Homo-oligomer: A and B are copies of this chain.
């Protein structure tokens, strides 16, 4: 009999594969590869500290050279725009163009998934999520990967008033909209200190 953890691994791997195949199929119409859609999805959620080629490379687990190629293609298709940073001349800011946002909207990537889970109770969903998030955090920590969570769950985030936030790392004010975006510097609050 197989270990319970390994069965879960099998299932997650199989689901990951399926989602990837779905991404590939979804991108066919636009002539986009899975990695392109992942990049667009990331940039759509990345906050102002995290919308750079380097951050994207870390998020995807690829080298910056590889990512640079994919970004070239996305820029050629006018799905993203590149701007030089005001302060630091080395960094490039990446933003979705209207066309890029449009593409994401039209894909409707989450519909099938939502349907597939509609019969599961919220309690079971959140329980499953908790297990997987723990696994994810552990794997990321072990490999020295960043967690790329949203500011709301970050220990640097300070809630200084109603709808008023400050990032303890950069000392900058963040809007309530911004704190629900993905950050490269995210560090999860430790719920249960080991």
Contact = CB atoms under 8 A, between A and B. Distances in A.
A138 B116 contact: yes
B11 A19 contact: no
Contacts of A61: 17-18, 20-21, 24
Interface in A33-61: 38, 60-61
Interface in A119-166: 119-120, 122, 124-136, 138-140, 142-143, 145, 148
Nearest to A135: B116
A11 B116 contact: no
A93 B168 CA distance: 60
A72 interface: no
A16 interface: yes
Nearest to A114: B5
A142 to B, nearest CB: 6
Given A9-B110, A14-B148, 4 more contacts: A4-B129, A17-B60, A116-B135, A127-B128
22 contacts: A3-B114, A4-B122, A4-B129, A6-B110, A6-B114, A7-B129, A9-B110, A12-B16, A13-B16, A15-B16, A16-B17, A18-B143, A20-B20, A113-B135, A113-B139, A117-B131, A117-B134, A120-B135, A124-B127, A127-B128, A128-B128, A128-B131
